[in-house]
Structure 1
Amino acid sequence: MQYKQQIMSPHDIVILLKIVAYGKESWFQKPLAEALGISQSEVSKSLNRSKYAGLLDPTGKTVMKLALLEFLQFGLRYVFPQKPGPVVRGVPTSHSAPPLNEEIHSNEDYVWPYGKGTVRGHSIMPLYPTVPEAALRDEKLYELLALVDALRVGRVREREFAITALKNRFGLGE
C-alpha cells in the first residue's frame, strides 16, 4: 500500500480566505484561480488538501470556519512563520492595513513587497506571490489576508484584535 502524506501549503490559506470572502455567493474553481493568479490544477489540489484537513466540508464548497479560525489562531504562525524584513515599497499588511490600522497606530509599517505599492515599510513575504495583486482587486480578501498576517507577525495585542475581527468576518462573533 502506498501512503501519500497531505501537507498544507501557504496558498491553501489564501484560497480558503478567498472562498470566505465570497460569502454566500456561489463560486467556481476557474474564476477563483483567475482571481488569485493560481493555476486551476493547484486550486484543485489545494481544495483536496483542505478537505482532507477538515477545513472544507466533504463537498469542497463550504469552509469550516471554526476549524479554519482555530488553525489560524493557534497554528499559522508556527507552520508558516514570517519575520519582518528590510524596508521596501509595497502594499500595507498586518497592523498597517485595514481594519487594524484604525485600532493600532505604529511608526513602523509592514508591507507585501510590490513594485506598484505606495507605502514603504518592513517587508512581509505574502503567503503566495500573487497576494498583493489579488488583494488590491478584492477589498474583503485584502482585509482577511492582512488580519492573517497580523497573526503571523503581530504581537499579542495585534493578534487579539485580528482574532476578534476574523471572528466577526467569519460570522462567528460573540
Structure 2
Amino acid sequence: MIWLILATLVVVFIIGFRILNSDARRASQALTHRLNIEPLYVESMLSQMGKIPGGEFVNYLLHNSESHIGNAASVLLIYQTFIIDDEEQNLVFWQSLLRKARLPSELTPTHTRMALSFLRELEPEAEELSAFRQRYNALFTVEPELAPVPKSNVYYLDGFTPKN
C-alpha cells in the first residue's frame, strides 16, 4: 500500500514538473532542433539569464517565427562566443552552425541590443559587445564582388557596333 502512495506521488511530481517547464522545453527544442545542437547549450544560457530575462527569452522564442528563431540564435551565438569563450575556433564553430541552419550569420545592432536585454543579469558592457560585433562581422562578412564596368554605356539594338 505504501508503494502505491509513493508511486502516485512520483507520478504527480513528474507530471507537475513537465507542466511547469513545458514552455521552456518547447522553446529550447525549437532552437536546438533548428541549429542541430544539444539542448544543454540553450538550457545553460537560460539558467544564466536569470528567472525574469529567461522567461522573457522563452516567451520570445514561443512566437516560433523565422525572425524570432534567427534573433534567438544570434543571442545564443553572442552568449556562447562573447560571454563563454571568445576564441576564434569557437567563433568559427557557432558561425558555421548558423550558416548550416540557413540563419543570418551577421550580427546587427538589433542583435546586440537583444543580447544586452536578455543577458542583463550577466551585466555585459555595451561598448565591449559592440566591439565584439564589429570584430565578428569583419571576420565573417564577405564583401560582394564588384561587377565589371562596361567599356561603353551605349548599346545598339540592331546589332550594329561601330568600328574603332
Q: TM-score, normalised by structure 1?
A: 0.29
- Structure with higher Rg: it is 2
The structure that is helix-richer by fraction is 2
The structure that is strand-richer by fraction is 1
Q: TM-score, normalised by structure 2?
A: 0.30
